Chains A and B, each alone.
Chain A
Amino acid sequence: MRILLAEDDPMIGASVRQGLTQDGFTVDWVRDGRAAELALGERVHDALLLDLGLPRKAGLEVLAAMRRGGDTRPVLVITARDAVGDRIAGLDTGADDYLVKPFDLDELAARLRALLRRGAGRAQPVVTLGDIELDPAARAVRRGGEPVSLSAREFALLEALLARPGAILSRTQLEDKLYGWSDAVESNAVEVHIHALRRKLGASLIRNVRGVGWMAAKPDPRAT
């Protein structure tokens, strides 16, 4: 899952990016409100992690403009302001959740996962499709109850495909999920990872629609 982090404090930003990357998120980091709006315009991120005290354009303004523009992506606000009024203002402006500084990395990751899950219309923390189970919190995948070992990129790819089974994702869309701005995209990387996933989870799980992209489908139990 690719997250946009809008945070002006260099130390907090660096730590959050590092921590979330360790938790399997792809994180892009912007340091002011204008940069956040530009990045949101790319529509490649699954969620926004927004600090309210941003220079150049305040976090609440970014949020309000985003919601006015019909952008429904989940937004988690982080701020040092903890008065109830501030929280209400944040939530009423369109935030989905609120974290007050200082916060815990694990809690931040958990809340992000919950937001992404809700954003995808699911209430269960574990994603299932056929006999495949994906647990975003534990970063574990099981096939027929048996644990399957996946690399971080393979996991991210599978998570993206399972988020909306049946929906076709293009190579660019998949690459956007896998790579942040600072990552160099390897050529054919998507094909390589999909090949690995098919090998580990069964060829019928991920279908290729030639010229369009890939989608996840209920695996055919007869195929292996």
Chain B
Amino acid sequence: MTSIRRQLLVWLLAGLLLAIGTAAVGTYLRAREEANALFDYQLKEMAASLTDAPFAGVPPPSSAKGAASDTLVVQIWDRNGVQLFMSQPRRVLPQHAQLGFTTINADNGEWRVFSTLADGQVVQVAQPMSARRELAASLALHTIVPLLAVLPFLALLIWYTIARGLSPLDRVAADVARRSPDLLEPLAETGLPREVQPLVHALNGLLERLGQTLAAQRSFIADAAHELRTPLTAVHLQAQLAERADNDGERSAALAELKGGLDRATRLSEQLLALAREDPDVADRAFAHVDLAAIARAVVANAAPLAVEHNIDLGIEAAAPAIMRGDADALATLVSNLVDNALRYTPRGGRVDVKVTPDHAGTRLEVADSGPGIAPADRERVFDRFYRGTAAHADGAARGSGLGLAIVKRIVERHHGRIALASGIGGGGLNVIVSFAVPIP
């Protein structure tokens, strides 16, 4: 696992070390340059002092000044090349004829030599280069040692500061940890650093959407449980009546009622399942090119026996294929729910027309009936779950689950279509118009 703290610490320390290193190198180079100028001047001065005074034996070593005095080598030759003086016999410098400053490579390292000619004598003053380097290095070292000394404290400071800077994250983490499906309050967004706020803001958005979804599901489950109670109560009572029956006739009548109650409970649970399946949060199943006209014809054919039973004239007008992108099963459920509703609310001898019209604007499905219709004021509410129109109570047997139109609406939404209610056949009744946008080629 990567740690922001460790990464920051490593990189900051690396940067600091690089800076200290650069400072050391810079100091060293500059110090060496200065040492060169200084020591060269020293050599020259020394040579001059040796030549000013007539040679009188061993020059006092103390005359050489500076830190490098003990490393100075002085040699004096006469014009015949006879060595007259040598300050340090063990350090033999090559005899050098070149006057002025030279840098030579001897067996024992690099030397800086100043030679001058005076009174027929060659005076050579030499000093090893290492002395200058040592001086420069020591200067550089003096510069970086204090920096290196405070480095551990700096590391601690960085460690602490990062921890402080990241502490809002810990707080947010603790805050998030306290959240549960029952407690989806937004996290506090105040007092947060600018870097953390977008994260918390995004989290709050997620919490809110999650809360809405959960609330919708809870209310759906509560509604569903509540609605299931009614058919279950009926089944319970019907079973009790069957139990009480004294003779076969009563018993078989009671059992037929019971079967009707079970059918109703089954149908409601199927509708609930269909509604849950059309949940917009469920990942879209693959849409395909489907022919709505063919789907509608199949649904109408299926519903024909029921229409005959209720003496309702059911027909479809869908000559041309109506190709659209959609979920064939869901669209069949949609048409079937609309046709079922129309058949349920249309009195005997009435009429139900299904129409599918493809055109350049898209596909249009209409299911019109000659039933009692829905008052314009109630037309919005019919799409609510478990809403039942008052007309449904005129004929007890026609009662539905109250879910049909809610399912239809979900399916239409999932297909990005629109649904509208208008007056049906002959100005009365209901016409449900569903329109889907132009199919994507």
Contact = CB atoms under 8 A, between A and B. Distances in A.
Interface of A: 8-16, 18-19, 22, 31-32, 55-56, 80-81, 101-106
A12 to B, nearest CB: 5
A81 B226 contact: yes
Contacts of B257: 11, 14-15
B229 A80 contact: yes
B237 A105 contact: yes
Q: Which of B226, B257, B261 is most buried by chain A, counting CB atoms within 10 A of its CB?
A: B226
A12 B230 contact: yes
A80 B233 contact: yes
B399 A105 contact: no
15 contacts: A8-B393, A10-B399, A11-B257, A11-B261, A11-B264, A19-B237, A19-B240, A22-B241, A55-B388, A80-B226, A102-B232, A102-B233, A105-B237, A105-B240, A105-B244
Interface string B398-417: 01000000000000000000
A193 to B, nearest CB: 23
Given A12-B230, A12-B233, A80-B230, A32 B241 contact: no
Given A9-B234, A10-B397, A11-B257, A104 B226 contact: no
Contacts of A14: 257
A22 B238 CA distance: 13
Contacts of A105: 237, 240-241, 244
Contacts of A101: 229-230, 232-233
B381 interface: no
B399 A9 contact: yes
Contact of A104 (B229, B231, B236): B236
B244 A103 contact: no
Q: How large is the interface on B (under 10, 10 to 19, 20 to 34, 35 or more residues)?
A: 20 to 34
B62 interface: no
B244 A19 contact: yes
Contacts of B261: 11
Interface of B: 226-227, 229-238, 240-241, 244, 257, 260-261, 264, 388, 390, 393, 396-397, 399
A196 B236 CA distance: 38
Contacts of A13: 396
B100 to A, nearest CB: 111
A103 B234 CA distance: 9
For the complex of A and B, 10 pairs with smallest distance between CB atoms: A10-B396, A15-B237, A11-B234, A102-B233, A101-B233, A80-B229, A102-B236, A101-B229, A105-B240, A12-B234
Contacts of B241: 15, 18-19, 22, 105
B239 to A, nearest CB: 9
Contacts of A15: 234, 237-238, 240-241, 257
B393 A16 contact: no
A19 B388 CA distance: 27
B393 A11 contact: no
A32 B260 CA distance: 23
Nearest to A23: B244
A69 to B, nearest CB: 25
Contacts of B240: 15, 19, 104-106
Given A22-B244, A31-B396, A80-B226, A11 B232 contact: no
Given A9-B230, A12-B230, A15-B234, 7 more contacts: A10-B396, A11-B238, A15-B237, A15-B257, A80-B230, A80-B233, A101-B229
Nearest to A101: B233
A99 to B, nearest CB: 10
Nearest to B392: A55
Contact of B393 (A18, A32, A80, A102): A32
A86 to B, nearest CB: 11
Contacts of A31: 393, 396
A153 to B, nearest CB: 19
Nearest to A31: B393
A151 to B, nearest CB: 16
A82 to B, nearest CB: 8
A11 B241 CA distance: 12
Nearest to A10: B396
Nearest to A8: B393
A30 B426 CA distance: 32
A10 B231 CA distance: 10
A19 B390 CA distance: 27
Contacts of A10: 396-397, 399
A81 B264 CA distance: 20
A216 B401 CA distance: 50
B299 to A, nearest CB: 26
Given A15-B234, A19-B241, A55-B390, A102 B229 contact: yes
Nearest to B234: A11
Contacts of A8: 393
A12 B244 CA distance: 16
A14 B390 CA distance: 19
Nearest to B396: A10
A13 B234 CA distance: 8
Nearest to B226: A80
A111 to B, nearest CB: 15
A14 B235 CA distance: 12
Nearest to B393: A55
Nearest to A79: B229
A12 B234 CA distance: 5
A66 B311 CA distance: 42
A106 B236 CA distance: 12
A14 B396 CA distance: 10
A80 B232 CA distance: 10
Nearest to A78: B233
